[in-house]
Structure 1
Amino acid sequence: MPVVLTGIALCVAFYALYRLASIGRRPHGYPPGPPTLPLIGNLHQMPSKDGHLQFQKWAQEYGPIYSLILGTKVMIVLNTDQAVKDLLDKRSGIYSSRPEMYLGNIVSGGLRVLLMEYGETWRMIRKMVHNILNISAARSYVPYQDLENKQMLVGLLTQPELFIDHIRRYTNSLTTQMVFGFRTTSIDDPKLKQLFEGFENFCKVTGTTTAAFLDLFPVLKRLPDSMLPLRKYSKELHEEEKKLYVGHWLNIKNAMKKGTAKPCFCVDLLKAQDAHGFSDDLAGYISGSLLEAGSDTTAATLVGFVQAMVVFPEVQKKAQEEIDRVCGDRLPTMEDEPNLQYIRGCVKESMRWMPTDILGIPHAAIKDDEYMGYKIPKNAGIICNVWSIHMDPKRHADPRVFDPSRYANDFQTAGEAASNPDASKRDHFVFGTGRRICQGMHIAERSLFLGMSRMLWAFNFEKARDVNGAEITPDISKLVPGLFVMPEPFPAKITPRSKKHAERIDQEWAGAQKLLDSQDQWREVPEGMVFSTYNPEKSG
């Protein structure tokens, strides 16, 4: 009997050693990738910063699809428009979930829609959100965009050095109106600052090496907070985030109960809560997720556009010539969009040239699959390598040059481009893919068009100068790191194109203010807003 037990023990030991030795290896049949080391796989090759550049190098070496073995996890990276179309779009039923992001979910309390696994709760939220973000609804929000844009222009006129703050207020106030029914009237609003700072901290945490190690080696999660200070910090971030998001929700919920709330998305959210019985915490994060999505990425794209105008003055000149020819001495409007194709190109090129989700948000395979003869295992993380696709010289000649004329003959909306069966005809991949595609892309496109066209109509953007009078050229390669990125803060000289342009800005804002009450909130909600039409009984 002891001999038998010893034999079993040896077999178990050898099996354990075999399994341990296999960790870090790239299994036969997986997509190619950089050489691995035992136990850690490719972990030692993962960059601590500017990861998009390393992912681009690997794409150039290994082709349309490659794999990274990260300890016990597998990451599949898609590097061409066709690979993304074939898997994330055409097989979205398999690839619509998310891999676990341990620290990201701690910051989010497990409630952030962006990180939520594919399932019943996510589908319920998606259908509800579609109600206010579809293309028909998007057209009704133009009065909000028009007014907020005019306040942004006044801000740029009076405090041009704070252009990032004015852009952020513009995108945030539009979103607070749609979601909660109130305007964000000041760049100094503490909740505005908390939103952008909080989301930036969330992105930084999820982009750290510590976050990656905790996902790849789950045993590390057993360590106490004293040995994992970033987890302790993530819990603190969650408390601050929850206070903001759930606070917004409870305020509007109480106002709705009293009958004092303005029409907004939360009216439909309350219907859904009554029907499905989900918590105020989840309701807060559903509305908060819309707030951060509508505020941050659109603002980051506009900041990138300002940088492009400073660095590529010839583009600015050509864009202004088109605007002057079509609009003359009046502000551009959405009705001008069909006649401002170069400006439409500016919108598309801004998202291609400075993609905010530079490596996309990872998807996850919910079952084994095969592509191009390679195995893709269940639970593998799937990366849409946005940067590499956008910077592929075969797709876009001289990709680091900002050139809106690339889209001279592209009359598609972002939604039409994303659903085009010809993958090469998609304009960019900033709005995501498959069932995870951004439902607010129609609104974002309009906000970007109005923002860019009117800023160019009103202002000249030039390089700032240092104390010695030398021009300061922004470094287009320097980005704020994290899950989402934007250019590092840079100075710019922003001046009105003429005295008449400055006077027109003041006149337009004075006229817009007649729509507002003493608190600078809408006296009456503009007609045609698509709210309170959600039917929970038909959403399941």
Structure 2
Amino acid sequence: MEGITLVLLYVAIPSLLFSAIQQILSWRKKTLGSEPKFPGPKQYPIVGRIHDLPRFSMWLKFKEWADEHGPIYQTHALNQTFIVVSDEKIAEELLIKRGHIYSGRPQIRSLIKHKDGPAYSALMDRHDIWKTQRKWSHAAMAEAYKHHFYGHAEKEMKRFLGLILLDPARFLEYTREYCGRVMSRLAWDDATQGKANGDSADKTLHCMSVSGPITNTVTPLWYIPSFINPWYNYEIQREKEQRAWWVNNYTLAKYRMQQGELPSDTWAYRYFEQLRREGNESLEQEHEQEDFASCMIGFLNLVGVVTISGPLKFFLMAMALHPEWQKKAQDEIDRVCGDRMPTMQDFADLPTVRACLKETVRWRSGVPLGVPHQAERDDEYRGVKIKKGTIILACEWTLNRVPTKYPDGDNFRPERWLEAGWPTYQEPLTRYPNFREGQAMHTFGWGRRTCLGQNIVDDETFVFAAGTLWAFNSGPKMCPLTGNPVPIDTQATNSHVILEPSPFQLSFKPRSPERAKHILDGYHSVLAELKL
């Protein structure tokens, strides 16, 4: 193993030297005339400030630097410049008002051809493929929201609650599967793909994260010849398998459409019906067109898994660690719903449930670094020149802890959304808080790269939270040897671009024998309809 490592390092040296020469030439240009620049941490020759930047929980370091250097600062990693923002108004000025400049996506070295398309619409540059896919996805999502996603979340929730009653130790696995099943049902009418959906999303996130392959931070290693390059070969195989999976689901859906068996409440049906309106009755297309469509639907399906399952896992954690808020939300549910499981029809009447969800996403952001934007051309801001290719990070972790907006920001305080006097309070409570509009919408990104999933996040998380609170009392798992609660590290995560917490243990107990019977009755009521 040591010999292989040495070989890899020696092969990478030419690329590293090239980066060093670029950096030296850049310094030489700068010494000819001093230019204004944003403050930031001390930079070191060649590496910039990459040597002590953690690959895991990087957002904590960024907040530390923001506290020291202010709401906008810059740093470097090798020959890449980063501008880190922790002020909403600055982020709005750059990423919204100047969205025509700052809506590019940076190259993720270990994710092959993501900027070109058609596989990852959220990570593409702004070109025709991106525009077409985003327009189609926006319309598909909006239409599904009109019908509250056809009740799939409620049906899958009955399955989820039954599984938790029968096997509570697997709650983390079931939570991700719940999200994967809802998305796969919407995409192709095949909820059985839910687990594979979650696993595929997790592998993709690994490859696009700083905490993933080392080639995402030490990028010259990516150019090691393929026959001795483990990172390149892994990504080739992963991407091949993912694309094949998407194409297979697309092909099966097309066959069912041709046989008249594909439900009209799927995104695949929407695409095929569009082809028929354009005169393509057979639904047959060129390979490139089918690849485009399978990736568009596949990625829309994929991106809705961990973006929702991470916050839901943090929500379960928050309720177990804050029993007073668990009780407040349960009392509200009991007043409104009684013995029946809550549905989206109860949304307006359960503001405490929504506040606990909104606070969970603020307290433990699923995207704590924010999704990076890249300058598409040179610009100037506050007298500082920003070069094309500069990466802009609106750091969510820091934004969610600005004292004037979020007092006591490190603690879980749902009342900030419910009580007048808090900066984030909005009326009426039948409408706010939510994930579709209002305060703290920066969670979903900025400007032209804003996430299209606010509506499904709102519906799916509400149904999950209200249903779980209605069904169970939860708390930390008790150690059988000591009788003490098993500790939960609330900041331990997988450190992907989109987070899920590291495995932790909870206990779930039905709130009454009658409630347990309702859970089982609900589970059996969907067995015949759902593909399990």
Q: What TM-score bracket applies, with the shorter chain setting the length?
A: 0.7 to 0.9
| Structure 2 match to 1:465 | 478
Describe the shift of the 1:309–1:23 C-alpha distance in structure 2 as closer, same or farther (beyond 3 A). farther
Q: For 2:238, give the aligned amino acid.
A: L
Q: Which residue of the partner structure matches residue 331 of structure 2?
A: 321
Q: Distance in 2 between matches of 1:102 and 1:460?
A: 45
Instruction: Write out aligned runs for 1:394-413 (5 A).
Output: 394-408=404-418, 409-410=425-426, 411=432, 413=434
Between stretches 107-116 and 459-468, larger displacement belongs to 107-116
CA contact (8 A) 1:249 1:284 kept: yes
The amino acid of 2:487's aligned partner reads: T
Query: Which of the numbers 52, 58, 66 marks the counterpart of 1:51?
Result: 58
After superposition, what is the alpha-carbon deviation per residue over 1:36-92, rounded to whole angstroms, capped at 9, x for unaligned?
122222222321221111111111111111112222221111111222222212222
Aligned positions of 1:81-120 closer than 5 A: 81-105=88-112, 110=117, 111-120=119-128
Match of 1:141 among 136, 149, 160: 149
For residue 128 of structure 1, report the CA deviation from its aligned partner.
Answer: 0.3
1:77-114 CA-partner distances (Å, limit 9, x unpaired): 11112222222122222222201112123689952112
State the 1:448 CA deviation.
Answer: 0.6
Q: Which residue of 2 aligns with 1:501?
A: 515
The Cα shift of 1:412 comes to: 5.0
Paired residues of 1:21 and 1:39 also in contact (CA < 8 A):
no
Paired residue for 1:415? 436
- AA partner of residue 86 (structure 2): N
Residue matched to 2:85:
78
Q: SS of the counterpart of 2:519? A: helix
When normalised by structure 1's length, the TM-score is 0.83
Which residues of structure 2 form unaligned runs of 5+? 1-20, 279-284, 419-424, 427-431
**What is the match of residue 332 of structure 1?**
342
Question: 1:424-445 CA deviation, whole Å, 9 max, x = no partner?
Answer: xx22533222121121211111
- Alignment match of 2:25 (pick from 19, 24, 27): 19
C-alpha spacing 1:128/1:484, structure 2 compared with 1 (3 Å): same
> Which piece of structure 1 moves more, 389-398 or 467-476?
389-398
Cα distance in structure 1, aligned partners of 2:208 and 2:509: 38
The 8 Å contact of residues 107 and 202 in structure 1, kept in 2 or not, is answered as: no
Give the counterpart letter for 2:472 in structure 1.
F
Aligned to 2:15: none
> Measured at CA, do residues 24 and 400 of structure 1 come closer, stay the same or move farther in structure 2, by a change above 3 Å?
farther
Contact 1:20/1:39 (8 A) holds in 2: no
**2:180 aligned with 1:164:** no
Instruction: Answer whether contact 1:355 1:386 (CA < 8 A) is retained.
Output: yes
Superposed, 1:206-355 pairs within 5 Å as 206-208=208-210, 220-263=221-264, 264-270=266-272, 278-355=288-365
Instruction: Tell me the equivalent position of 1:445.
Output: 458
In structure 2, give the amino acid aligned to 1:150.
Answer: K
Alpha-carbon spacing, 1:502–1:232, altered in 2? closer, same or farther (3 Å):
same
- Is this contact kept in 1: 2:116–2:125, CA < 8 A? no
Cα gap change, 1:36 to 1:451, in 2 (>3 Å) = same
Aligned to 2:6: none
Q: Which residue of 1 aligns with 2:199?
A: 197
Alpha-carbon shift at residue 495 of structure 1 (Å): 0.6
Distance 1:440 1:54, change over 3 A: same
Alpha-carbon displacement from aligned partner over 1:211-257 (angstroms, at most 9, x marks no partner): 5756775x654321245321221112112222222221222123223
| Cα offsets for 1:437-493 (capped at 9, x unmatched) | 121211111111111011101100111022312211211011112221111111100
Query: Within the alignment, does 1:60 sit opposite 2:67 as a pair?
Result: yes
Does the 8 Å contact 2:320/2:506 carry over to 1?
Answer: yes
For 2:198 and 2:155, locate their aligned partners in 1 and report how far apart those are by CA, in whole Å: 22
Letter in 2 for 1:245: W
One-letter amino acid of the counterpart of residue 362, structure 1? P
Q: Letter of the aligned partner of 1:100 in structure 2? A: Q
Aligned-pair CA distance for 1:494? 0.4
Partner amino acid for 1:112? Y
The percent of aligned pairs where both chains have the same amino acid is: 28
Q: How far did 1:27 drift?
A: 7.3
Which deviates more from structure 2 when the two are superposed, residues 86-95 or residues 99-108? 99-108
Which of the residues 43, 47, 51 maps onto 1:36?
43
Equivalent residues of 1:75, 1:383 under 8 A apart: yes
Distance 1:385 1:27 in 2: 28
Contact 2:103 2:375 in 1 (8 A): yes
- CA distance change for structure 1 residues 362 and 87 in 2, over 3 Å: closer, same or farther? same
Separation in structure 2 between the aligned mates of residue 156 and residue 67 of structure 1, nearest angstrom: 47
Number of the residue aligned with 1:527: none
Cα RMSD of the aligned pairs, angstroms, is 2.8
AA of the residue aligned to 1:243: A
Hey, what's the Cα distance between the residues in 2 that align with 1:246 and 1:394? 49
Counterpart CA distance in 1 for 2:65 and 2:387 is 20
C-alpha distance 98-466 of structure 1, shift in aligned 2 (>3 A): same
2:365 is paired with a residue whose SS is coil
Q: Which residue of 1 aligns with 2:282?
A: none
- Deviations 1:404-438, CA, capped at 9 Å, x for gaps: 11111332543322xxxxxxxx2253322212112
For residues 303-331 of structure 1, the C-alpha deviation after alignment (integer angstroms, 9 at most, x for no partner) is: 11111111111111111121122222222
Distance 1:241 1:108, change over 3 A: farther
Unaligned residue ranges in structure 1 (runs of 5+) = 1-14, 185-190, 418-425, 523-540
Shift of the 364–438 alpha-carbon distance from structure 1 to 2, 3 Å rule, reads same
2:359 alignment partner, SS class: helix
Letter of the 1:157 partner, please give it.
L
Contact 1:176–1:183 at 8 Å: present in 2 too? yes
Distance 1:94 1:252 in 2: 39
8 Å contact 1:154–1:505 — kept in the other structure? yes
CA apart distance, 1:200? 1.9
TM-score (norm 2): 0.85
Aligned residues: 489
The residue identity in structure 2 corresponding to 1:172 is G
